[in-house]
Amino acid sequence: MIAPFNATIGPPPSGSPPPEPRVAKSQAAKPQAAEPSDAELPVGDRHPIAAISAPWQSQLTAFDAALRRRGLSDATRRAYAKDLEQLAAWACERDTERADLDLKNLRRFVQQLSAGGLAPSSLARKIASIRTFYATLVERGEADQNLAELLTTPRQPRDLPRILSKSEAARLLEGIPKSTPLELRDRAMFELAYACGLRAAELIGLTLKSVDLDEEQVRVEGKGGRTRMVPVGELAAAAVRDYLDRGRPRLEADRTASTLFLTKSGKPLQPSDVRRRLQGSLRRAGVAAGISPHALRHSFATHLLNGGADLRSVQELLGHRSISATQIYTRVESQRLRAQYGRAHPRA
């Protein structure tokens, strides 16, 4: 849960000031380097909380409440809060409250971020945060229009996602032993991630009721509170059943725990646990390093498209709100076809 925006700094308590601490001569003789003021620091390095006025604090609190109602995750809300605190601090330095901000102010703020060396991807995210903020203002009737819609989002190169080949995916999954409870868990976890295209957060959020092995499907709680049903392949279903029969009972510390995948102490996994266990499995399988849990999701989508699945079906399976987010996988397939053409055609 995000901490409330209540870090306003008040005046020191009344009364005589405490005596200054005694300093040794050797210490007193050393000149102390003056810390740069907030005005001398880049926008991203300033200390916004202490500089935010009470009206802006109220706006930020209302914004967080609106994001919570939309069902956004804690991590997403924290990212939005950080971006808006930065805008609020910048505005307060100029004695500008939210109602007084105009498009010229917003463009100046964005230009200052860009001039400070902020990466295009980070700048695009901050603009998206501001747009969302203004969208909530319009919803509440506190603004007539979304001024941030008129901000220009910087162009940024869109890197193709790193994926595993089919043989690499098979080598990774089949290389995970099935002797100990943790090995059974890892095999089930990564089989399910690849078979269903799950995000790491979705994977560790699964409960015992999420998986229906009789129907061979999994109920996934995705981003924005959206729920989707995803088929589970036979190999993944078998790995989950094996984990439930022989692995999970030996990890349970509390018989009432409902989380599907547990740590060795019986607690829910964290995303860092998933990354760490995947890296170990990759090393054992001799698969290239640098593969993240999200690469299993990318591989799921790419292999489906390569196998003839249509783009709309892949969009639904991934839980993408917009098909434009799914279309990047067609670029992966196009790149593969171009490479094959270059190798095979005599006049390529």
Q: How far is CA 317 from CA 222, 227, 232, 237, 321, in A?
A: 11, 11, 11, 17, 11
Establish whether 199 is a catalytic residue: yes
Give 302-327 pLDDT, tens digit per residue. 899 888 888 888 899 998 888 877 87
Which of 134, 194, 243, 329 is the catalytic position? 329
Q: Nearest CA to 163 among 283, 281, 296, 46?
A: 296
Which of 178, 223, 267, 275 is the catalytic position? 223
Which two structure tokens, joined as six digits, stand for 22? 């005694």
Establish whether 243 is a catalytic residue: no
CATH class of 42-150: mainly alpha
- Which residues of the chain have a pLDDT value below 50? 1-50
The reported pLDDT for the residue numbered 339 is 65
Establish whether 298 is a catalytic residue: no
The reported pLDDT for the residue numbered 214 is 92
Which of 98, 185, 199, 248 is the catalytic position? 199
The reported pLDDT for the residue numbered 254 is 80
The reported pLDDT for the residue numbered 345 is 59
The reported pLDDT for the residue numbered 185 is 97
* Rounded-to-integer distance, Cα 201 and Cα 207, Å: 12
Just give the CATH number of 166-293: 1.10.443.10
Establish whether 329 is a catalytic residue: yes
Q: Where are the domains of the chain?
A: 42-150, 166-293
The reported pLDDT for the residue numbered 286 is 86
Give 84-129 pLDDT, tens digit per residue. 999 999 999 999 999 999 999 999 999 999 998 888 888 999 999 9
H-type helices in 153-233, by residue range?
A: 166-174, 181-196, 200-204
The reported pLDDT for the residue numbered 299 is 92
The reported pLDDT for the residue numbered 11 is 42
The reported pLDDT for the residue numbered 160 is 61
Establish whether 294 is a catalytic residue: yes
Which of 46, 187, 297, 303 is the catalytic position? 297
The reported pLDDT for the residue numbered 337 is 58
Full-prediction pTM beyond 0.85? no
Q: Please answer whether residues 215 and 204 qualify as being in contact, where contact means their C-beta atoms are separated by less than 8 angstroms.
A: no
Q: Nearest CA to 332 among 168, 129, 172, 165?
A: 165
* Rounded-to-integer distance, Cα 294 and Cα 301, Å: 11
